[in-house]
């Protein structure tokens, strides 16, 4: 069901990659100045587009991925605590910028919770998480689920200009899943499968998604506005 049309809003699902918002090589380090700029661009879009709704998600980066990569008896609680810490810092900055966010842990994610938050005029902020059974719930997977159900524009903000071909240049559009073989190695290893897994899931769910550089000034705003920057993964050629 196209819930987006039924609810009479246009929707944007924006996932902030962990590699974008955290320091790659330093555990539990947030790129605070970048986060401030990202928050301000989101606020600008929200203010200018009152009839369009945003759902935000974020990955784990050097918080969740780092802790989840260490397999010991405390892995579940350490990873959960790390993601709560990261989410708190992101939530705090978005609120400071004037974005009316409400935090939703991934372990408690349901689509109905997202709809309830939107119905109250809130901006859901959902984060990748670890469940009580120690399994990982990916922010990518939740992003895709929400975008599919809302027929929403799906946006992945990463720390690269887009998907890079073997020649090192940005691939402007991917139309077939077999083109993924043209990719370089994933940006860096993470416990949710990295960029190749992201692309495969987009195709499998017949979605269109923009993968772009969220660190470049203005790009978050432009992507929310609908500009094609980075790589368009065209999983639904009819849309």
Predicted local distance difference test score (pLDDT) of residue 63: 96
Say if residue 2's pLDDT is above 70. no
pTM of the shown model = 0.91
The CATH number that domain 9-232 falls under is 3.40.1160.10
Q: Residue 109 to residues 63, 137, 170, 190: CA-CA distances in angstroms?
A: 20, 9, 33, 21
Percent of the chain exceeding pLDDT 70 equals 90
What size, in residues, is the chain?
Answer: 239
Confidence band of 181 (pLDDT split at 50, 70, 90):
low
Question: Can you give the pLDDT at residue 197?
Answer: 83
pLDDT in tens, 101-160: 999 999 999 999 999 999 999 999 999 999 999 999 999 999 999 999 999 999 999 999
């Amino acid at each position: 069901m196209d819930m987006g049309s039924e609810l009479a809003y246009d929707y944007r699902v924006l996932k902030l990659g962990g590699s974008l918002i955290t320091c790659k090589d330093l555990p539990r380090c947030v790129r605070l100045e970048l986060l401030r700029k990202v928050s301000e661009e989101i606020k600008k879009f929200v203010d200018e587009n009152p009839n369009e709704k945003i759902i935000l998600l974020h990955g784990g980066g050097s918080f969740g991925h780092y802790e989840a990569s260490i397999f010991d008896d405390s892995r579940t609680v350490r990873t959960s605590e790390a993601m709560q810490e990261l989410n708190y810092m992101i939530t705090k900055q978005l609120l400071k910028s004037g974005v009316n966010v409400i935090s939703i842990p991934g372990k408690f994610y349901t689509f109905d919770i997202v709809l309830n938050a939107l119905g109250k005029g809130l901006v859901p902020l959902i984060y990748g998480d670890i469940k009580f059974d120690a399994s990982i719930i990916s922010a990518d997977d939740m992003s895709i689920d929400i975008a599919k159900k809302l027929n929403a524009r799906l946006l992945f903000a990463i720390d690269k200009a887009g998907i890079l071909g073997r020649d090192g240049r940005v691939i402007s559009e991917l139309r077939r899943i077999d083109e993924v073989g043209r990719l370089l190695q994933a940006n860096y290893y993470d416990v949710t499968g990295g960029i190749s897994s992201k692309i495969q899931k987009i195709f499998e769910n017949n979605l269109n998604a923009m993968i772009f550089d969220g660190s470049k000034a203005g790009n978050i705003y432009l992507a929310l506005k609908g500009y094609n920057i980075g790589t368009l993964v065209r999983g639904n050629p009819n849309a």
